[in-house]
Amino acid sequence: EGSQVVWEFAKAAEEHLEASCALKHATTARQRSPSSMRELQAVVLARKEALRTTHGHLFAAMAELTAVMRRRPMLGLHPEVQRLLGCNLPQDLLPLLQFGRARECFDSLVLLDTVSRHRIHRATAGEQAYALKEYAAFEGLDGLRACLQEAALLVGARHRHVAEVLAIHVDAEQHSVFIQMPFYEQGSLDEWLERERPGGLAVRRVLAQAVLALVHVHGLGIVHADIKPGNIFIDGHGDALLGDFDISVHILARVPASRRGLSRGFAAPEIVRTGATPATDLFALGATIAAVLGVQESSECEDLVRRLRSSEPAARPTALDVLGEPFFAEVLA
C-alpha cells in the first residue's frame, strides 16, 4: 500500500512538472512569434487546461498519500516523499491536512490588502475569525512544497510567541493551498503602533516577546530569515507572535539569498553572500527595534541597536544575549 501511493504521487508530480514545462515553452513560443499569435494562443490555452488537470491529479494523489501516512507515519521518511515535498512531514502535521473546497469551511472569506508575498484572507466561522494564507494557484508542486515547509516549521516550533497553524487546506478545485492560522486582531507590529500609539515600555514588552520566539526557533536550528515589524503580530491580549516563516531555513542549510526576496532596510549586508543565518536574523532585529522605537529612545536602545546592526556578524549578540540586555531588564523582570 505504502509503495503504491508513493509511486502514484511521484507519477502525478512528474506529470505536473511536464505540463508546467509545456505551458512555459508554449508561452515563450507565442511571445517570440507574433505572426502566429492565433495558432499559438490555442496551444497555450490547451497547455493551461492540461496543467489544470494535472493539478487535480497531484492534489488527489497527495490526499491519498496523507491518508496512508496517518496510518503509517514512517512513510513520511520515505526518500521519494521527502524529495518531492522538500521536507519531512511531522506526524503532528498530518491531522491538520484537509482536502476539499476551503471556502466551504467558512461563513465568509475576504481578501485583505497586505504586502505579503502571498494572498491573505480573513475568514470567519461563527464568531471565530481566522487568517488564511494562500499559496497561489498554478504554483502546483512548488506551492504545495512551500506551504507544507512553512507549516512543518510552525508545527515543529510551537511556542506561545510563534504564530499557530490550525489547518492546511488543499483545495484541488481552486488549485490552491492555504495555511489557516488565528486572525490576530491587532494586526502586525507596525499597524498596532500606528493605531494604538503605545508607550515605550509596551513596545519593549512586545519586542522582548519576539526575541523570546527568536531564541526558541534558533534553539531548534531554524533561521527565520525575514524579521521585520510586518512579520510580528499582536493578538487580542496585546502579546506578540512571530510569523511568516515561508522563507525560513535550517541553520545548516546555508541557502544563498536572492536580493529579490529581501526586505529592504532589514537585510544584513552579508546575506546575499552567506545566506540567512542567526546573525542575519539579529541584524534584522536591530533594524526592527530602530524602526519602531528609534535609536534615540534611550542610551540602552542606541547601544543595543548599534551592536545588532554591526557590519561584522561575529560582533552581533545572540538572541539569548539580547534577552539579558539592560534595554529589556524592566519588561522581563
Structure confidence at residue 260 (pLDDT)? 46
Q: What are the φ/ψ torsions at residue 175 (nearest 5 degrees)?
A: 55, 40
Residue pLDDT, tens place only, 180-191: 999 998 999 999
Distance CA 16, CA 1 (A): 23
Alpha helices in the chain (DSSP H): 2-32, 37-71, 79-85, 140-156, 189-196, 200-219, 271-274, 278-293, 299-308, 319-323, 326-332
With cell 488543499, the residue in question is: 170
Closest CA to 59 of 174, 166, 150: 174
**Residue 153 near residue 222 (C-beta atoms within 8 A):** yes
Residue 283 has pLDDT above 90, yes or no: yes
Compute φ and ψ for 264, nearest 5 degrees. Answer: -60, 135
pTM of the model: 0.79
Instruction: Determine how β-strand 119-125 pairs with β-strand 167-171.
Output: unpaired
Residue with the larger pLDDT of the pair 131 and 176: 131
| pLDDT, position 255 | 53
Task: Please report which confidence band the pLDDT of residue 222 belongs to, taking 50, 70 and 90 as the band edges.
Answer: very high
What is the three-class DSSP state of 22? helix
What are the tens digits of pLDDT across the range 38-74? Answer: 888 889 999 999 988 888 888 888 888 888 887 887 7
Q: What is the pLDDT of residue 101?
A: 78
